[in-house]
Structure 1
Amino acid sequence: MEFTQHANATALGRSTFAHMDSVLATLDRRQNFDPPIDVFNSARAYRIRVAELIDGPRTLKESRELFVYAAWLSEILAWMAQYLGDPLAAEAWAVDAYEHAEQAGHDVLCAFATDAMASIAIYNNQPARALAAARRGIAKAPARHPLAVRLRTQAARSHARQGDRQGFQEMFRQASELHERLPDRPPLRIAMDTGTLAAFGMTGHIAEAYIWLGDAAQGDFVRARQHAQAALDTELAWPAPSRSPSRTAMARLDMALALAGLAEPEEAAEQGRQALTTSRLLAAVRRRAGDLDRVLNERYRDLTVVQDFREEDRHSRAVRRR
């Protein structure tokens, strides 16, 4: 009888998991719109509380559920740290998310963690690490889940970043085939539609890939412009709760870089200026705007529109620092 009572010993109240479900849904909706530091602070406070619950009396079944909550919170923290411009902290949180998800036997959550790892690495100029993370996630994601598509587009742009056209084409082919077979109603992430993940992968990630390949003779900039326009159109077509101001800004910057490669600096600068008006001027957006500024000044530094864009970019960074 004592053994049985010990197996059922727990410090968790009946409402604990219901409360955590509500917290995760709220944070999931907030992370595309609220200031990243606010979401980070909220998620970290709950992550600390979950760690305390894991260390306290709980049943084995409850332990698994707590590990899942810990993994989701760490995955959100990874993205917020990346948005705030701290790739080292972002990677640490992503690794923590993966380890807790794996301990809980939650393959889809493992795949979400690797998606974060891949993005963190690619924007930290570590394409080989991004590719390794994407491959790790591909092994976990179900074939009919939007993550299976997105992780292959992560791998595709990682190949492109390394100048590997053949590797890019193969992963893009696989992503395209899986994208065609996705269900009409994709599953939710926590509270958000996962269809947005695959959609932006097939448009925004591929636009970036063509820009990085950068061979005008092979039509890379034309294809980059097409995919960036598709990313922008798709993003603006989503219902408001599924839109992301930062994805919209990234699509505009990819469009601008493609236009610069096509010798259309005025339109490129205009797209860049529109991107800088985003309400979510995240680290990745600022970095991409810096790429555009360098390209425009290398090729068209004497144009007034290029000089104006440089000033607007500098101003946006100064405002951000304040």
Structure 2
Amino acid sequence: MKRRVALGLGMAAAVAPEVLQEVLHESTAEAMEFTQRANATAIGRGTFAHLESALAALDRSYNIDPPAAVFSTARAYRLWVAELIDGPRTLKEARELYVCAAWFSETLAWLAHDLGDPLGAEAWAIDAFEHAEQAGHDELCAWATDAMASIAIYNNRPARALAAAQRGIAKAAARHPLAVRLRAQAARAHARLGDRDAVKEMFRQAGEVYERLPARAPLRFDTSTGHLATFAMTSYPASAYIWLGDAECGDFAQARTYAQAAIDAQLALPAASRSPSREAIARIDLAIALTKLGEPEQAAALGQQALGTSRLVDSVRSRAGDLEHVLTVHYPDLPVVRDLQEAYRQNRPTR
């Protein structure tokens, strides 16, 4: 060992030739051992194909199966990936495992959000971002910040939502639907903060990016992402104008138009691409706008439809609470409003 240290410090000239020859022979064996270690792995053949298949299956089942069941499956895979990361693997495999870990964590973030756990949802979203960033996967970083922004919006933390959206904008490719969605997320956050000018500016930017999107949207696993940009350009403005809430500026009329467009866009999608919870939220936005525009009966009916969705997640319950409050304030004595109050009480968020 002393001979090796001496050579490593540039002191080879002071070492006898026969010693130097011996060390050189030893270093050859060391190089071979290091090469062997670099290729040592416990990752079995087909592991990554299996993980990719699992991620695609989770993505397909997200809008169909109960969130709790999907959460359990995603969590089991995330724990398995963590074990693979901690075991023998090559550097190249480590990067791929980090990408898989980030995808599973991003899915878990949305599912925890759906199940009404904002703290857990944010923790999983942060984990997704950190693993994606370590892997150098900018698009996946942007997906994680999209989740962060929505989680913060529904947790009434608009400044945090804005910061997450801005962080994602810096990561998303200019011609990816996420570039539209994250700018629309920022607009929603500005609406919560009451900054009308910033809302208009961010939606203007989102619109410009939307117009430049390629005809064929990139895939997320085996699903097109194009409809996400369309949803962001319809449903997000509906929510934003409701939150700005100035009738004299025409906010509720604009919200009505955008919410109806969001519903129409959802209904036009193939069944496999539709999101029952997004459609329900668009119906609630439309209902709130109609309430403010003096049409409570139709608003209450839309609220009942939203609460009857096949995917009654926490965000739908939360927005249904906003509708119930607005109807109760303005039309407390209407029978349809009392019916909606009862439906909401039976389905209100648990937290």
TM-score category by the smaller chain? over 0.9
Cα deviation for residue 162 of structure 1 reads 0.8
One of 265, 273, 276 as aligned partner of 1:234: 265
CA distance in 1, matches of 2:243, 2:275: 23
Larger Rg: 2
Q: Does 1:312 align with 2:343?
A: yes
Q: Does 1:280 align with 2:311?
A: yes
CA distance in 1, matches of 2:293, 2:194: 20
Q: Does 1:290 align with 2:332?
A: no
Cα deviation for residue 315 of structure 1 reads 2.5
Which amino acid in 2 is paired with 1:298? V
**Corresponding position of 1:259:** 290
CA distance in 1, matches of 2:57, 2:279: 22
**Corresponding position of 2:144:** 113
**Corresponding position of 1:80:** 111
One of 223, 241, 250 as aligned partner of 1:219: 250
Q: How does 1:165-244 map to 2 (within 5 A)?
A: 165-244=196-275
**Corresponding position of 1:15:** 46
Cα deviation for residue 197 of structure 1 reads 1.3
CA distance in 2, matches of 1:214, 1:42: 41
Cα deviation for residue 196 of structure 1 reads 1.9
**Corresponding position of 1:58:** 89
Cα deviation for residue 123 of structure 1 reads 0.2
CA distance in 1, matches of 2:207, 2:262: 15
Q: How does 1:9-158 map to 2 (within 5 A)?
A: 9-158=40-189
CA distance in 2, matches of 1:59, 1:136: 30
CA distance in 1, matches of 2:189, 2:103: 25
Number of equivalent positions: 319
Any idea what SS the aligned residue of 1:95 has? helix
Cα deviation for residue 192 of structure 1 reads 2.1
Q: Does 1:245 align with 2:276?
A: yes
TM-score (norm 1): 0.98
TM-score (norm 2): 0.90
Alignment identity in percent? 69
**Corresponding position of 1:271:** 302
Which amino acid in 1 is paired with 2:125? A
CA distance in 2, matches of 1:315, 1:3: 64
CA distance in 2, matches of 1:85, 1:91: 11
Cα deviation for residue 2 of structure 1 reads 1.1
Query: What runs of 5+ residues in structure 1 fail to find an aligned partner?
Result: none
CA distance in 2, matches of 1:222, 1:134: 27
Query: Structure 1 segments of 4 or more deviating over 6 A?
Result: none
